[in-house]
Structure 1
Amino acid sequence: MGRNIEIEFKNMLNKESFIKIYQHFQLKDHDFFTQDNHYFDTSEGSLGRKKAALRIREKNGRFELTLKLIVEAGVLEINQPISAEQAKDLISETAFPAGEVKDELMLLHIHPESLEYKGVLQTSRAQVPFKKGQLMLDHSIYFGLEDFEIEYELDEQSTDGENDLLQLLNELNIPKVHADNKIKRFFHAKKEGNH
């Protein structure tokens, strides 16, 4: 289990820009790993309205339940490792695992039994050390859509993180394009396509 404040800067990319970054960092296909993000909310969208999000991340056969909350310093993540069985129960909406995430949901006045499984977003990700943190190059697929983005996650609180990312984008002649987080993009696509 753990709580951490995530400080990150993002930029959407088109396929051409994605390839530029791929080549700039001399990445190879085997540098990418796949992770599935399974998302949940109530039928009324209670989590979204509280600027919170709940997901199970499935990576290398491991499962982690994460509740994200917007806080002043960035995004507070409450992470809880769960078993494959617990993940399956949650996705099939039969049981919610006990622990810190469930406790926090109750504090938000969201009953875990009211949560519904909303679908999966699959990301192919490469991670490279960069300045004061890690750069993530992501190719995501959800509801038949695909998108590309770069994320710069800082290891510590720093005010020049955004400048470091902008400098890299300028160097590679890549336009700055606002990036909503994956959860927001996922739910927007779900709503647009009525999935």
Structure 2
Amino acid sequence: MEQNFEIEFKNLLTKDEYLGLLDKEFPDNSNLRSKKAIYQANYYFDTSNKDLKKQNSALRVRITDSTNEMTLKVPYQGFLMENNLHLSNNKASEIINNKQIVLSSFNSPDNDFSFLDQKIKDSTFYLFNSYQTKRFEKSVKNHLIVLDETTFQNGVIHYELEVESNDEDEGRKFFESILRTYGVPIRKASPKIQRAEKNQ
């Protein structure tokens, strides 16, 4: 299991703002198309009592063309700590087809869920929502610029800018500088899964 302290800043965009940022931050390179999108299918799981939601946590399985990953997000110092576990194609398909996960079935010396209550570890987590994301990303110094176009189950599309960083202060300044440069108003973006629940 890999752990990653997620420091990120988000801002919702209009479609025109999104296209403008895409054009400026991800320009074409002569005749070679450098705008390579990452297509993600995101599946969210929780207990029937929404135990993770009550703890401001989330369990996600993400499938892309190149990798499958199960991620448990838990609050940590005002942001989120991601606990990531690679899944084989067969295991990812099994989870999606069965629409459920039991975390304790993944227990091993390398996969330690000790920070969770035993009751939650032994609980069955059921698939309750999903959405699709078309993502563009690039690294700039110590930051990652991300542009997302997310389609929810009811067909509603959200556009957003994300900046991921290794440092909270530097990341915030870099994020705000992008908004200023392109004249984008500050629009707070709640986590995608919260918006997905409103757009089922």
Which structure 2 residues correspond to residues 50-65 of structure 1 after superposition, within 5 A?
50-65=55-70
How far apart, in 1, do the equivalents of 2:43 and 2:128 lie?
7
Contact between 2:39 and 2:135, CA under 8 Å: does it hold in 1? yes
How far apart, in 2, do the equivalents of 1:71 and 1:179 lie?
19
- 1:39 is aligned, of 21, 41, 44, to 44
Partner of 2:21: 21
Q: Say how many residue pairs are matched.
A: 189
Q: What residue ranges of structure 2 are gaps of 5+ in the alignment?
A: none
CA-atom RMSD in angstroms: 2.2
Cα shift readout 1:52-107 (whole Å, capped 9, x = no counterpart): 00001111142111000011152100000011222222221466441366735853
How far apart, in 1, do the equivalents of 2:77 and 2:141 lie?
24
Partner of 2:86: 81
Contact between 2:100 and 2:124, CA under 8 Å: does it hold in 1? no
Q: Does 1:132 align with 2:137?
A: no
Partner of 2:2: 2
Which structure 2 residues correspond to residues 149-168 of structure 1 after superposition, within 5 A?
149-154=160-165, 156-168=166-178
In the TM superposition, residue 178 of structure 1 has moved relative to its aligned partner by 0.2
TM-score by length of 1: 0.86
Cα shift readout 1:82-136 (whole Å, capped 9, x = no counterpart): 1122222222146644136673585363145421111321110011223421100
Partner of 1:179: 189
Partner of 2:156: 145
Cα shift readout 1:22-49 (whole Å, capped 9, x = no counterpart): 1111435742120111111122211111
- 1:116 is matched by which residue type in structure 2? Y
Q: Does 1:69 align with 2:74?
A: yes
Contact between 1:39 and 1:54, CA under 8 Å: does it hold in 2? yes
Contact between 1:67 and 1:101, CA under 8 Å: does it hold in 2? no
In the TM superposition, residue 142 of structure 1 has moved relative to its aligned partner by 1.2
TM-score by length of 2: 0.84
